Amino acid sequence: MSERLEDIASAMVTPGQGILAADESSGTIKKRFDTIGLESTEENRRDYREMMFRAEAAMKDCISGVILYDETIRQKAADGTPLVDVIKASGAVPGIKVDGGAKPLAGFDGETITEGLDGLRDRLAEYHGLGARFAKWRGVISISNDLPSWGAVKQNAQALARYAALCQEAGIVPIVEPEVLMDGKPGDHSIDRCYEVTEWVLKTVFAELYDARVSLEGMVLKPNMVIDGKNARKASREEVAEKTVRCLKSTVPAAVPGIAFLSGGQSDEEATAHLSLMNAGFDMPWALTFSYGRALQAAALKTWAGKKENVAAAQKAFAHRAKMNSLAATGQWKQDLEAA
């Protein structure tokens, strides 16, 4: 595969393919495993991820890249093959989560800043050596009628830009992820409030990327959709699609090769339906695809339940969700295909 950033970024947004976010932190994966009554051991985490990475139908046809966690990028499959090589063999690009998580932002009540810039240059060099060709950093933006503050938006945008510049220096494509939280507190904001905040955040992020001399052709954007708060859901699927596309068109330069949405609190099916409506109904300068974690994995995790005898059925469940999202990435998903 070409090592040019533009080529890697293009491969990550291959038509009809999307990115599997398998970068849950130890705390998050434990919560997921708790729902199926499974202990979160290193071996169980490895088995779970290997089950997905070896789901051939899903990986070869529907998945362009996989975001890994620090532990996973170093792990070997049960047969001794490095998991990175299992991913590469399927044709997908291995990636790595490099941020240190969102921490309370001093002086800004209810808002956060993502940490992890210290020592990032050296970590990126190591991850490149381990096979990672893209990275992910998530900035978390709280939303209510009063939040976010300009200070929080600006500081998160600056951190995203510094991270992106360091990635490109290391030969790694940055996924730039500014997430305006759908399920934040109190979660009763309207879709128009989400539009306003998302537009503001994206304009600020791209101004900072420009100032940091980040090459737009060698990055992928991972934003939230424009959607009403978790506790105020009224907007139709059509409205979510239309407002999201309108917001992106007014903020994201055409030089960006692709946009891979996070699912951010939406149900599996909703996230798929919204993406499909956008691809079916609008002409856009960039590829529009998915970078889902829970929305790709929830059914597979439940089916697997930590049991070897369920691996094939769980892979089938994962392949189904991947296929539905692959169709959505080309605007061809239909509700009645879900039952199949």
3-class secondary structure, 330: coil
DSSP H or E stretch at residue 259: strand 258-261
| Nearest by Cα to 158 from 145, 133, 176 | 176
Integer Cα distance of 211 and 93 in angstroms = 28
CA 131, CA 207: separation in Å to the nearest integer?
A: 31
Runs of H (alpha helix) within 117-222: 120-129, 150-169, 191-211
Listed residue (191, 187, 182) closest to 264, CA to CA: 182
3 state SS of 317:
helix
What residue type is assigned to position 89 of the chain?
A
Nearest in space to 257 (alpha carbons), one of 56, 6, 49, 74 = 6
238 is catalytic: no
Q: What is the dihedral of CA 36, 40, 45, 47, to 10 degrees?
A: -60
Catalytic residue (choose from 177, 179, 208, 323): 177
Cα(82)–Cα(76) distance, rounded to whole angstroms? 4
Active site residue 39: no
Q: Which of 136, 222, 230, 243 is catalytic?
A: 222
d(CA 141, CA 181): 6
Give the bridge partners for 176, in sequence order: 137, 221
* Length of the chain in terms of residues written: 340
User: Distance between CA 218 and CA 171 in Å, rounded?
Assistant: 10
User: In this structure, are residues 129 and 170 in contact, taking their beta carbons and an 8 Å threshold?
Assistant: no
Active site residues per annotation: 177, 222
